[in-house]
Amino acid sequence: DGGITQSPKYLFRKEGQNVTLSCEQNLNHDAMYWYRQDPGQGLRLIYYSQIVNDFQKGDIAEGYSVSREKKESFPLTVTSAQKNPTAFYLCASSDGQATTDMQYFGPGTRLTVL
Amino acid sequence: QKEVEQDPGPLSVPEGAIVSLNCTYSNSAFQYFMWYRQYSRKGPELLMYTYSSGNKEDGRFTAQVDKSSKYISLFIRDSQPSDSATYLCAIGGGADGLTFGKGTHLIIQP
């Protein structure tokens, strides 16, 4: 089955901790994205990558970091510098170089800060 | 003015009704139009994609684009309780990639 997987489904973090969210795709897509979704806010772009070993900041990159060492994987680290990290995090991918292509989403990770 | 406007709802209709969901946009450079369906606590699922004015039909779903009015719609015929979800419009072709509406929460009453 082709698709995007995210793990874990639920994640709890203590204040001051860094946590890493996993995103893997087997669609052979070049581009990958991370979004944050809060109630009433819609989807906000954190980071995106159009090719291996390259990534760009989105609208709300502060307090987050990413890497793109493999085409299939685009992990997101939520650092202690992110002051309000509790949210639903969505990873997506698309098959084109342009960010206007259709994006396909994973099931999401719900992060809660204790 | 935000680039993509979408009424958050909730929109509640009886089963079997025709549902109309809408978005307006301000950037005339937008040229790709998508609708996603998102069930609670799940990732969005791509429902419809179009890049031209006019209608595109897929089963009970019809996507309509009016570029002259900068207005897009998603129609759902013979609505079912399983259609209850949040529907997000997404528009691309501008300088900043894909822009999402905030989503409309739809409730189909059995």
Q: What pLDDT, on a 0 to 100 scale, did the predictor assign at position A45? A: 94
Query: From the CA of A106, how many Å to the nearest CA of chain B?
Result: 6
Binned at pLDDT 50, 70 and 90, residue A75 comes out as very high
Answer yes or no: is pLDDT of B96 > 80: no
DSSP character string of A20-74: EEEEEE-S--SEEEEEEEETTTEEEEEEEEEETTEEEE-TT-TTEEE--SBTTB-
Q: Strand runs (DSSP E) across B1-110, as ranges?
A: 4-5, 11-14, 19-25, 32-38, 45-50, 54-58, 61-66, 71-76, 85-94, 97-100, 104-109
What mean pLDDT do residues B54-68 have? 95
**Are A23 and A13 a contacting pair, CB within 8 Å?**
no
Class of residue B6 by CB neighbours under 10 A (exposed 0-12, middle 13-18, buried 19+): buried
Answer yes or no: is pLDDT of A74 > 80: yes
B92 to chain A: which residues are within 8 Å by CB? 99-101
Answer yes or no: is pLDDT of B108 > 80: yes
Could you tell me how many residues make up chain A? 114
Q: What pLDDT, on a 0 to 100 scale, did the predictor assign at position A97? A: 56
Percent of chain B surpassing pLDDT 90: 79
Q: Which residues of B touch A (CB under 8 A)?
A: 8, 31-32, 34, 36, 41-46, 49, 88, 90, 92-93, 97-98, 100-103
State which residue of chain B sits closest to A41, comparing Cα positions.
Answer: B102
Q: Do B98 and A103 touch (CB under 8 A)?
A: yes
Q: What pLDDT, on a 0 to 100 scale, did the predictor assign at position B2? A: 65
What mean pLDDT do residues A39-52 have? 90
Q: What pLDDT, on a 0 to 100 scale, did the predictor assign at position A95? A: 82
